[in-house]
Structure 1
Amino acid sequence: MKLLSRAVAEETKPSRLNVRSLLELYGVVILGICLAVVLSLMTDSFFTAANINNLIQQWAFIGIMACAATVLMIAGCFDLSVAAVFALSGVVAASAAASHGVVTGICAALLTGVVVGAINGGIVGYLGINSFLATLASGFILRGVALTISGGLLVTVSDPRFSKLGRGEFLGFSLLNGAFVAAIAIIGFILHSTVYGRAVYASGSNEEGAYLAGVNVRQTKFIAYVISGIAASVAGFLAASQSSTGQAASGTGYELLVVAAVVLGGTSITGGRGAIWRTVVGTLVLGLIANGSNLLGLSGTLQQIIQGAIILLAVVLDRFSRSASH
């Protein structure tokens, strides 16, 4: 238990309150604030309720999956199949909803996420296959399954109740944004307020040490992949609902944006360190870059260069931070 507590404590408070530790903890927040200030000065349309709401809605899908990916990366794993699960869940949800009703569609999508997450978790957690290679391969397979189910065509749902999930509002608040907030709250609670969450930190920080301390590392990784699968399926059927269609090609490249949001937020790529709030800020920073680029009329190529440069800087800072702590 001391190992588990120490792993969490390492994340939640710095050893010395100095400029370096403050930058490590809140650098991404400072970056986000600076971007927001610059954009608000350079364009009149940035700081409007409509634009902010649009920004959050556009990145809610990435945010939901990134919250779950945070758990995985803290545990020392990757999931490069999330974009394929996103697409497959959307296709399954649309297909099932079109033929058997909306509730069946939602349940089928969630079941898809659970099954895929369990398979990935079994391969990585119990068979010990490298998570990068295993989920890269499963991503290709799942895309193929999605194409097979859809026949390469759009799966359209005419039932208006289906579209309300992704487009609806409650008390003026978007249901999609509500799902993002729910993902933050639920996964944040699991990660920071449960025994399982402490096991995640311990497994990623020192897998052998965690095992010797009594942590079931294999089970910890397995559950993390199931969480990732569920999050991707929720994002997938919400996206299908928003457009009233399931598309096998949807979410292409999302797996990289998910990893980018988590890494930019400060979660260590080597495991053992990270937090949900950081991932949320990292997601919003990526959203600010994309939104600001569009408002300023910058090309998509320049936008990718800016995103890549910031992410590379985050990885370099993580490397130096790790070296300094040893």
Structure 2
Amino acid sequence: MGKKLTTAVAVSLVGALGLSACGASEAAGGDKATTINLVAYSTPQTAFTSIEKAFQKTPAGKGVDFSESYGPSGDQSRAVAGGQPADFVNFSLESDVTRLVDTKLVDADWKAQTGHDGIVADSVVVLVVRKGNPKHITGWDDLVKPGVGIVTPNPASSGGARWNTLAAYGHVIADGGTEDEAKAYLTKYFKNAVSLPGSARDALTSFTSGNGDVLVSYENEAILARQKGADIDYIVPDQTLLIETPAAVTVDAPKAAADFRDFLFTKPAQADFLASGYRPVIDGVTGEVQGANDPANPFPAPKQLLTIAKDFGGWDAAGKKFFDEENGIVTKIQVATGTSE
């Protein structure tokens, strides 16, 4: 139909790119301070703002500063592989860390270094709608009805988009459908796309600016948007996908970067993730979450929770099957529907 997709350009908040990987700089009084170059995907910025302050109050965090860069996960990973300074990385996909392993910037055993497979926070894919849900969207099937405009980030740049797309595809299989039926669903899904921004955060901005009828997004993004006053509702579909966000330190990073990574698995840090709408990855971190559908029970268990490992064979297999630049299922569908740019 020749529809024009609106694209938001992610703004990378990079400070002092000329810093070396070790990040040493002169502090007041002539003491050496350590700067951690933190490079992350677009959504955890609010959580990290609080977590960094808490870390700086610990003995390991004394004298530590942060230089931050946020943007689409794939773009951020490629930037680091291309030379952008990074001591600590947090991406939305394991494959974006794997790229840095392949370029010898992250140790191959990065998962084992934490005891949590490197996953610092969880979420699930949800459907964000206008306040009052005027299109009466209750689940995935409603997204492909005529007249429903979908906003979702672009799988070519955004890790969030890949989670979203696999959740959309996977719900068909989980409901007893075939792979051909799942492909047919995705074709309708992308035909209904009216905005494919570069990152999950840009997709949220596009939606709250008035584009589309439904935003496919992270649960934590919907919660944080409501905390900031966005006039939206969100639905946790009956079939959805567990989002697992990995973090790692680079091989030449200062010890403070590893200390910061380890701090993320403490209860104070996980409580900050929880307050920003993420599902904690350690036991014993609970509490009310403002902006959730039910603040007292913020993270209901979906009827069917898909995982990358169990339902898609892991990110290596999923990446090749769905997102290969020439033969991926999603790549071909986007080309056929004119949504690849």
TM-score range, shorter chain: under 0.3
Is the strand fraction higher in 1 or 2? 2
Which of 1 and 2 has higher RCO (CA within 8 Å, sep 6+)?
A: 1
Higher helix share: 1
